[in-house]
């Protein structure tokens, strides 16, 4: 079982602090500030509607539908999470369609395309790549969203905690069932 982030909709207040922390965490070494507002690309999205407010991010699926459909094997299970190998990603968007949670983001940037002699004919062309939660694998402190959530609505779940929670729920269900049958 992969580690994943769990967001409790009952605790989330929709402040979007997690989005900001995520974007800052993934900046190019520009600690503490967003170097360019165009680069505000959090790897999670806070969803707000009349009934619920909750961040949605990659669930690190064990069967990873996004990885199964990737034609370049750019999405792999490695280091205890599902990661995108950017050098292999061609931005085909197949993973975004396959993700049952809508957690795959496709980021498109304009890059210079040098063609012709001596770069005389330079033009910018769009380049797309898949971007998703990587559990802040670059940070020893762990996921930035977990660290900054003011209500502790976001939690990093590890397999042992999931198993413990499941066991506790089973015991509680068994206890309540035995009380009812008596």
Q: In 3-state terms, what secondary structure has residue 171?
A: helix
Total structural domains within the chain: 2
Q: Quick one: pLDDT at residue 166?
A: 93
Verify that 108 and 164 share a domain, yes or no.
Answer: no
Q: Residue 39 and residue 24: Cα distance in Å, rounded?
A: 9
Residue 147: φ, ψ to 5°: -65, -35
In-domain check, residue 4: yes
Verify that 171 and 146 share a domain, yes or no.
Answer: yes
In-domain check, residue 21: yes
Instruction: Find the domain containing 1 and state its range.
Output: 1-57+139-177
Q: Quick one: pLDDT at residue 127?
A: 87
In-domain check, residue 173: yes
Q: Quick one: pLDDT at residue 178?
A: 65
Number of other CB atoms surrounding residue 26 within 10 Å: 17
Q: What is the pTM of this model?
A: 0.80
In-domain check, residue 89: yes
In-domain check, residue 182: no
Q: Residue 155 is part of a domain; what is its CATH number?
A: 3.30.70.20
* pLDDT, tens digit only, all 182 positions of the chain: 889 999 999 999 999 999 999 999 988 644 445 556 666 789 999 999 998 999 999 999 999 999 999 999 999 999 889 999 999 999 999 999 999 999 999 988 888 776 655 556 667 888 899 999 999 999 999 999 999 999 999 999 999 999 999 999 999 999 887 666 55
In-domain check, residue 111: yes
């Amino acid at each position: 079982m992969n580690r994943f982030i769990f967001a409790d909709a009952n605790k989330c207040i929709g402040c979007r602090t997690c989005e900001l922390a995520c974007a800052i965490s993934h900046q190019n070494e520009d600690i503490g500030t967003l170097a360019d507002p165009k680069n505000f690309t959090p790897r999670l999205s806070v969803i707000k509607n009349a009934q619920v407010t909750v961040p949605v991010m990659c669930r690190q699926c064990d069967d990873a539908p996004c990885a199964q459909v990737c034609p370049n094997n750019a999405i792999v299970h490695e280091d205890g999470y599902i990661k995108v190998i950017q050098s292999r990603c061609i931005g085909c968007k197949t993973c975004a369609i396959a993700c049952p949670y809508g957690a795959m983001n496709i980021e498109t940037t304009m890059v210079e395309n040098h063609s012709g002699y001596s770069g005389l004919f330079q033009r910018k062309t769009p380049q797309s790549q898949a971007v998703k939660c990587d559990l802040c694998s670059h940070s020893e402190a762990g996921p930035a969203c977990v660290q900054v959530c003011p209500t502790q609505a976001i939690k990093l779940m590890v397999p042992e905690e999931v198993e413990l929670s499941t066991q506790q729920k089973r015991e509680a269900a068994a206890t309540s069932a035995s009380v009812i049958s008596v």
